[in-house]
Homo-oligomer: A and B are copies of this chain.
Amino acid sequence: MLPRGRPRAMGAAVLLLLLLLVVGFFLFGRDPEYGLGTTGTLDEDLYGSRNRSASSPQLLLPPKCEVLHVAVVCAGYNSSREIITLMKSMLFYRKNPLHLHLITDAIARNILETLFRTWMVPALLVSFYDAEELKPLISWIPNKHYSGLYGLMKLVLPGILPSSLARVIVLDTDVTFSSDIVELWALFGHFSDKQAVGLVENQSDWYLGNLWKNHRPWPALGRGFNTGVILLWLDRLRQTGWEQMWKLTARRELLTLTATSLADQDIFNAVIKERPHLVHPLPCVWNVQLSDHTLAERCYLEAADLKVIHWNSPRKLRVKNKHAEFFRNLHLTFLGYDGKLLRRELLGCLNRFPPGAEQLQQALAQLDEDDPCFEFRQQQLTVHRVHITFLSYQPPPPRPHDVTLVAQLSMDRLQMLEALCRHWPGPMSLALYLTDAEAQQFLHFVDTSPVLSARKDVAYHVVYRDGPHYPVNQLRNVALAQALTPYVFLSDIDFLPAYSLYDYLRASIEQLELGSRRKAALVVPAFETLHYRFSFPNSKAELLALLDTGSLHTFRYHEWPQGHSSTDYSRWREAQAPYRVQWSADYEPYVVVPRDCPRYDPRFVGFGWNKVAHIIELDAQEYEFLVLPEAFSIHLPHAPSLDISRFRSSPTYRNCLQALKEEFHQDLSRRYGSAALKYLTALQQSRSRA
- Per-residue CB contact flags for chain A residues 319-338 toward chain B (1 = under 8 Å, else 0) read 00001011001101100111
CB within 8 Å for A14 and B37 given contacts A61-B53, A343-B329, A637-B639: no
Query: Taking chain A's interface residues, is the majority helix, strand, or loop, or is none over half, making it mixed?
Result: loop
**A36 lies within 8 A of B1 (CB):** yes
**B642 lies within 8 A of A639 (CB):** no
CB within 8 Å for A28 and B18 given contacts A338-B437, A435-B437, A531-B530: yes
Within 8 Å CB of A28, what residues of B? 14, 17-18, 21
Query: Could you list which residues of chain A lie within 8 angstroms of chain B, going by C-beta atoms?
Result: 1-4, 14, 17-18, 20-21, 23-25, 27-28, 30-31, 36-37, 50, 52-53, 55-56, 58-64, 92, 95, 192, 300-306, 323, 325-326, 329-330, 332-333, 336-338, 341-345, 347-348, 411-416, 418, 435, 437, 444, 468, 494, 530-533, 558-559, 636-642, 645, 649
**B341 lies within 8 A of A332 (CB):** yes
Alpha-carbon distance between A242 and B143 when the two chains are bound, in angstroms: 73
Alpha-carbon distance between A2 and B29 when the two chains are bound, in angstroms: 11
**B412 lies within 8 A of A639 (CB):** yes
Set B64, B347, B532: member contacting A559, Cβ < 8 A: B532
Alpha-carbon distance between A265 and B56 when the two chains are bound, in angstroms: 35
27 sampled A-B residue pairs with Cβ under 8 A: A1-B192, A2-B36, A17-B23, A20-B21, A20-B24, A21-B25, A50-B64, A52-B58, A52-B63, A52-B64, A56-B58, A92-B333, A300-B348, A301-B347, A303-B348, A306-B347, A326-B345, A336-B338, A411-B412, A414-B642, A415-B640, A415-B641, A437-B437, A494-B639, A530-B531, A533-B559, A638-B639
**B326 lies within 8 A of A347 (CB):** yes
**B18 lies within 8 A of A24 (CB):** yes
Alpha-carbon distance between A594 and B364 when the two chains are bound, in angstroms: 54
Within 8 Å CB of A303, what residues of B? 348
CB within 8 Å for A638 and B638 given contacts A4-B36, A341-B333: yes
Set B348, B411, B415, B531: member contacting A645, Cβ < 8 A: B415
**B20 lies within 8 A of A17 (CB):** yes
CB distance from A236 to the nearest CB of B (A): 16
Alpha-carbon distance between A305 and B31 when the two chains are bound, in angstroms: 24
Q: Can you name the residue of chain B whose Cβ is closest to the Cβ of A448? A: B468
**B348 lies within 8 A of A302 (CB):** yes
Alpha-carbon distance between A303 and B638 when the two chains are bound, in angstroms: 53
**A31 lies within 8 A of B1 (CB):** yes
Within 8 Å CB of A337, what residues of B? 333
CB distance from A658 to the nearest CB of B (A): 20
Within 8 Å CB of A3, what residues of B? 36-37
Alpha-carbon distance between A418 and B645 when the two chains are bound, in angstroms: 10
Q: Can you name the residue of chain B whose Cβ is closest to the Cβ of A643? A: B415
Alpha-carbon distance between A55 and B64 when the two chains are bound, in angstroms: 11
Within 8 Å CB of A468, what residues of B? 444
Q: Can you name the residue of chain B whose Cβ is closest to the Cβ of A534? A: B558
Q: Can you name the residue of chain B whose Cβ is closest to the Cβ of A642? A: B415
Alpha-carbon distance between A485 and B82 when the two chains are bound, in angstroms: 51
Set B304, B348, B532: member contacting A640, Cβ < 8 A: B532
Within 8 Å CB of A20, what residues of B? 17, 20-21, 24
Q: Can you name the residue of chain B whose Cβ is closest to the Cβ of A325? A: B344
Set B1, B55, B435: member contacting A37, Cβ < 8 A: B1
Within 8 Å CB of A23, what residues of B? 17
Q: Can you name the residue of chain B whose Cβ is closest to the Cβ of A53? A: B59
Alpha-carbon distance between A531 and B637 when the two chains are bound, in angstroms: 9
- Candidate in A37, A344, A636 with the most chain B CB atoms within 10 angstroms: A344
Alpha-carbon distance between A323 and B345 when the two chains are bound, in angstroms: 9
